[in-house]
């Protein structure tokens, strides 16, 4: 079988150019006589790889000089604990719950220390963001935690301008796992940004953290060394052996993003892909997406089939057309098309065409 | 340049067959239409990969049924904290310090809870293991921690028979990062075994933990979920997205080990490789290894040049002969040849030949 269109929510499709380059360099990276997987992380070759990756990421996201870029491990789930461990500093943190992932983050923070619910859209089934006045933020909060794209429900804070207004004294902490690098963000509005790599960055097993300098150094004395951001910052993400191959592939993705024209250009493609799919859903009588149009995710598009009993047929027929991992998350059911950066417009067109065909064949 | 002989202590050489297979399958794993890097970790393809990897590892190490195999992240450094967090259970743990890595493990355990030094060979510069009567174990210890191969000093507990005698009521915890899978071990003698992957298992970013069932479930309530072995065991290493690609490559390494005849066969090769190198060192007047012959590591062979000022020349000349990452750790200086499973006998022969040539040219 040829390569297919992979709509997985993560691990997810990677640019074919990146995979081809990784393949070509697998046994011998640029004539050095070994694979990147085999290199000492302290040697000059890998040092060049990680430094280039960080420089490219800083350029893509215009990361200010007073922020550290850390390449860590453990995914967003590790960050759910690591953020409060490092940032609570004896205080309480506020959480906005807008879907499955921010709910998990809030629950984990409560396990670690003092965490307070500043707002939740759960009563509306996580299909919208907050109305004016629905959020009550503790003025003494250590930080406010938000998830700017909910992968399960498909709800996204589509622009920094839509962030909740908070006092400058409260750092904003954002889980950007499933939209990072899909559009420019103003990093200076955030105290800390984190993202698991396996959606828009690279292979699973790598976690990106971007943290403002003044937030480092507040972890309690008994904190495991591996969970202390300050120690990783001090060692340039080389406290111990980092996930070297994942960092290398992420670096190839960053270079690919630069070749696409950077994040402003990528955002235009993301807008076009999402529009095509949401318009197809809205125009049909078989498909339905319940999310308010003001915050429909450009990355994860969940939809249900209004006619019951068709889900398995849809999935099986899609597979025959080279459309994979389209099944929705079990919490919301139905389908989910994750259309991260590496999904070409042609893939979304193929999905939309298939959906139209399927509706004609089965939907009436 | 062709592929070279890579003596790095880790990340380290991988079998060329494994890299070639990873290369060939990079864009399309067995006709599924995508890379392993792109697969959902919950899908049937990746489920088959991780289940096969675990089954092969269990077969190679003859892991008893009452032990869980966990594929985690963070390396041995994370385990230095995770072990006491999960196993202290309100008690104190004993540590044997036999080199740089067990010293680090002990220091980290003291940060987490109560840890006690049960013996140290530091006064002898970590060049031997313990004499009779040098170890004093707390009969109430939560566990006894050992590092069965010290990567920096090149000191190895070469057989389970050389382990310190302890009461059955005290679980033995072993950091096997740099000799795991180089020989059979009797897993039932250990309560917990851990190993970073980047020496004998696969790519950096994957950590192997083998833990006896009765040691699960004792982590304190405030433990980060990602650090609780019991939660990982319950979820079959799929609490969140695991480092999927690293697990896949490790699985290829396990299959390669089986094709070599398993660990008994691999041990014979390791013995032959180590003997060749130590004999060359001992027979020369230029090279010197200070470790007692009863515990010289088969994996990491440090040696110094007795004539001063030659180190940089040795390294540069070695590089010209396709011998890379031969420089020793800064703590002990000189050279270090790490000769893990993937280093072929031919590589050690090439090193020994080069050493003889170098001694003739520069050593007199």
Query: pLDDT tens, A19-34?
Result: 999 999 999 999 999 9
C-alpha of B322 from chain center: 25
pLDDT in tens, B269-311: 999 999 999 999 999 999 999 999 999 999 999 999 999 999 9
Does residue A32 or residue B1 have the better pLDDT? A32
pLDDT in tens, B90-114: 999 999 999 999 999 999 999 999 9
Domain membership flag for residue A7: no
The number of C-alpha atoms within 13 Å of A249 and in the hemisphere containing its C-beta is 34
Q: What is the pLDDT of residue B1?
A: 60
Asked whether residue A135 falls in the same domain as residue A59, the answer is: yes
Judged by CB atoms closer than 8 Å, whether chains meet at B240 and A9 is answered as no
Asked whether residue A339 falls in the same domain as residue A241, the answer is: no
Catalytic (active site) residue B103: no
How many whole angstroms separate alpha carbon A9 and alpha carbon A257?
19
Q: Residue A1 pLDDT > 80, yes or no?
A: no
CA proximity to B108, closest of A137, A246, A61, A227: A227
List of chain B residues whose C-beta atoms are within 8 Å of the C-beta of residue A231:
none
Q: Which residues contact B5 (CB under 8 A, 6 or more apart)?
A: B13, B322, B323, B324, B343, B347, B350, B351
CA proximity to B100, closest of B178, B160, B165, B172: B178
User: Residue B5 gets which letter from DSSP?
Assistant: E
| Active-site residue set of A | 101, 175, 199
How many whole angstroms separate alpha carbon B9 and alpha carbon B245?
22
Asked whether residue B111 falls in the same domain as residue B123, the answer is: yes
DSSP string, A144-197: EEEESEETTTTEE--SGGGSPP--TTS-EEEE-TTTTTSS---GGG-SEEEEES
The number of C-alpha atoms within 13 Å of A117 and in the hemisphere containing its C-beta is 11
Domain boundary among B210, B235, B259: B259
C-alpha of A55 from chain center: 20
What is the three-class DSSP state of B102? helix
Q: What is the pLDDT of residue A93?
A: 98
Q: Residue B217 pLDDT > 90, yes or no?
A: yes
Closest chain B C-alpha to A148 CA, distance in angstroms: 19
Model confidence at B363, in pLDDT bands (50, 70, 90)? Answer: confident
The number of C-alpha atoms within 13 Å of B126 and in the hemisphere containing its C-beta is 23
Output the CA angle B46-B52-B54, nearest 5 degrees: 105
Mutation for A interface: B74, B104, B318, most A CBs within 10 A: B74
Q: What is the pLDDT of residue B148?
A: 98
User: A23 to chain B: nearest residue by CA?
Assistant: B23
pLDDT in tens, B307-346: 999 999 999 999 999 999 999 999 999 999 999 999 999 9
pLDDT in tens, B248-264: 999 999 999 999 999 99
Query: At CB < 8 A and 24+ separation, what contacts does A314-320 make?
Result: A314/A358, A314/A362, A317/A354, A317/A358, A318/A351, A318/A354, A318/A358
The helix or strand, by DSSP H or E, that contains position B264, with its residue range, turns out to be: helix B262-283
Question: A16-24 vs A244-259: helix axis angle to the nearest 10?
Answer: 130
The helix or strand, by DSSP H or E, that contains position B208, with its residue range, turns out to be: strand B207-212
Mean pLDDT estimate for chain A? 97
Q: What is the pLDDT of residue B7?
A: 98
Closest chain B C-alpha to A223 CA, distance in angstroms: 7
Domain membership flag for residue A344: yes
Domain membership flag for residue A147: yes
pLDDT in tens, A211-243: 999 999 999 999 999 999 999 999 999 999 999
What mean pLDDT comes out for the span B30-59? 97
Q: Which residue has the tokens 């965490």?
A: A115
How many whole angstroms separate alpha carbon A107 and alpha carbon A115?
8
User: A228 to chain B: nearest residue by CA?
Assistant: B78
Q: Residue A201 pLDDT > 70, yes or no?
A: yes
The helix or strand, by DSSP H or E, that contains position B116, with its residue range, turns out to be: strand B114-120
Closest chain A C-alpha to B221 CA, distance in angstroms: 7
List of chain B residues whose C-beta atoms are within 8 Å of the C-beta of residue A343:
none
**Which structural domain range is residue B290 located in?**
5-13+261-362
Closest chain A C-alpha to B339 CA, distance in angstroms: 13
Six-digit token string for A242 = 């980092």
CA proximity to B67, closest of B194, B166, B179, B246: B194
CATH number for A331: 3.90.1150.10
User: B80 to chain A: nearest residue by CA?
Assistant: A224
Asked whether residue B186 falls in the same domain as residue B163, the answer is: yes
Question: Do A7 and A351 touch, CB atoms closer than 8 A?
Answer: yes
Of A16, A37, A244, the CB nearest to B27: A16
Q: What is the pLDDT of residue B132?
A: 81
> In this structure, what are the phi and psi dihedrals at residue A45, rounded to the nearest 5 degrees?
-65, -50
Judged by CB atoms closer than 8 Å, whether chains meet at A242 and B205 is answered as yes
Asked whether residue A303 falls in the same domain as residue A342, the answer is: yes
CATH number for B102: 3.40.640.10
Of A6, A33, A242, the CB nearest to B3: A33
Mutation for A interface: B10, B28, B35, most A CBs within 10 A: B35
Question: Do B93 and B143 touch, CB atoms closer than 8 A?
Answer: yes
List strand residue ranges (DSSP E) for chain A, in order: 5-6, 67-72, 92-97, 114-120, 144-147, 149-150, 155-156, 172-175, 192-196, 207-212, 287-288, 300-305, 323-324, 335-338
How many whole angstroms separate alpha carbon B334 and alpha carbon B316?
13
Judged by CB atoms closer than 8 Å, whether chains meet at B78 and A13 is answered as no
Asked whether residue B273 falls in the same domain as residue B208, the answer is: no
- pTM here is 0.98
Asked whether residue A162 falls in the same domain as residue A31, the answer is: yes
User: Residue B309 gets which letter from DSSP?
Assistant: T
How many whole angstroms separate alpha carbon A244 and alpha carbon A249?
9
Asked whether residue A147 falls in the same domain as residue A169, the answer is: yes
CA proximity to A40, closest of B36, B199, B295: B199
Judged by CB atoms closer than 8 Å, whether chains meet at B40 and A10 is answered as yes
C-alpha of A337 from chain center: 15
> In this structure, what are the phi and psi dihedrals at residue B237, rounded to the nearest 5 degrees?
60, 20
Judged by CB atoms closer than 8 Å, whether chains meet at B33 and A111 is answered as no
How many whole angstroms separate alpha carbon B54 and alpha carbon B126?
35
pLDDT in tens, B135-186: 999 999 999 999 999 999 999 999 998 888 888 899 999 999 999 999 999 9
Closest chain A C-alpha to B230 CA, distance in angstroms: 16
Asked whether residue A243 falls in the same domain as residue A282, the answer is: no
List of chain B residues whose C-beta atoms are within 8 Å of the C-beta of residue A203:
37, 243-245
Asked whether residue A206 falls in the same domain as residue A349, the answer is: no
Beta-carbon contacts below 8 Å between A and B:
226
Six-digit token string for B196 = 């970073």
DSSP string, B147-187: ESEETTTTEE--SGGGSPP--TTS-EEEE-TTTTTSS---G
List strand residue ranges (DSSP E) for A54-98, in order: 67-72, 92-97
Of B108, B204, B226, the CB nearest to A74: B226
Domain boundary among A195, A228, A259: A259
Domain boundary among B244, B259, B274: B259
Asked whether residue A237 falls in the same domain as residue A89, the answer is: yes
Judged by CB atoms closer than 8 Å, whether chains meet at B39 and A112 is answered as no
Number of domains in chain B: 2
pLDDT in tens, A248-297: 999 999 999 999 999 999 999 999 999 999 999 999 999 999 999 999 99
Judged by CB atoms closer than 8 Å, whether chains meet at B11 and A241 is answered as yes
Q: Is A23 left (phi over 0), alpha (psi -120 to 50) or beta?
A: alpha
Asked whether residue A105 falls in the same domain as residue A119, the answer is: yes
Of A6, A241, A249, the CB nearest to B204: A241
Share of chain B above pLDDT 90, in %: 95
User: B202 to chain A: nearest residue by CA?
Assistant: A37
pLDDT in tens, A149-189: 999 999 999 999 888 888 889 999 999 999 999 999 999 99
Judged by CB atoms closer than 8 Å, whether chains meet at A37 and B31 is answered as no
- Residue A331 buriedness (CB in 10 A; 0-12 / 13-18 / 19+): exposed
Judged by CB atoms closer than 8 Å, whether chains meet at A3 and B28 is answered as yes
Judged by CB atoms closer than 8 Å, whether chains meet at A11 and B82 is answered as no
């Amino acid at each position: 079988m040829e390569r297919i269109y992979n709509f997985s929510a993560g691990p997810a499709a990677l640019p074919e150019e990146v995979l081809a380059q990784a393949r070509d360099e697998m046994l011998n990276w640029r004539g050095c006589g070994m694979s990147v997987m085999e290199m000492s992380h302290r040697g000059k070759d890998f040092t060049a790889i990680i430094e280039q990756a960080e420089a490219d990421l800083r350029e893509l996201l215009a990361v200010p000089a007073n922020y550290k870029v850390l390449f860590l491990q453990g995914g967003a789930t590790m960050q759910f604990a690591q953020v409060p461990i490092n940032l609570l500093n004896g205080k309480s943190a506020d959480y906005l719950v807008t879907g499955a992932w921010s709910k998990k983050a809030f629950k984990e923070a409560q396990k670690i220390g003092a965490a307070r619910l500043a707002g939740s859209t759960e009563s509306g089934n996580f299909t919208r963001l907050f109305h004016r006045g629905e959020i009550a933020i503790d003025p003494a909060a250590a930080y406010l935690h938000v998830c700017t794209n909910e992968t399960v429900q498909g709800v996204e804070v589509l622009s920094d301008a839509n962030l909740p207004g908070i006092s400058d004294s409260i750092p904003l902490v954002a889980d950007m796992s499933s939209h990072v690098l899909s559009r420019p963000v103003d990093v200076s509005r955030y105290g800390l940004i984190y993202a698991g790599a396996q959606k828009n960055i690279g292979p699973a097993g790598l976690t990106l953290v971007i943290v403002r300098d003044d937030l480092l150094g507040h972890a309690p004395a008994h904190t495991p060394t591996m969970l202390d951001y300050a120690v990783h910052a001090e060692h340039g993400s080389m406290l111990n052996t980092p996930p070297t191959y994942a960092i290398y592939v992420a670096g190839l993705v960053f270079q690919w993003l630069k070749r696409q024209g950077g994040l402003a250009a990528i955002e235009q493609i993301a807008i076009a892909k999402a529009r095509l799919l949401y318009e197809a859903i809205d125009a049909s009588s078989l498909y339905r997406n319940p999310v308010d149009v003001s915050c429909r995710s450009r990355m994860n598009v969940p939809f249900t089939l209004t006619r019951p009993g068709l889900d398995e047929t849809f999935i099986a027929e899609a597979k025959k057309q080279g459309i994979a991992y389209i099944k929705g998350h079990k919490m919301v059911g139905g389908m989910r098309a994750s259309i991260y950066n590496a999904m070409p417009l042609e893939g979304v067109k193929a999905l939309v065409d298939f959906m139209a065909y399927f509706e004609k064949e089965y939907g009436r």
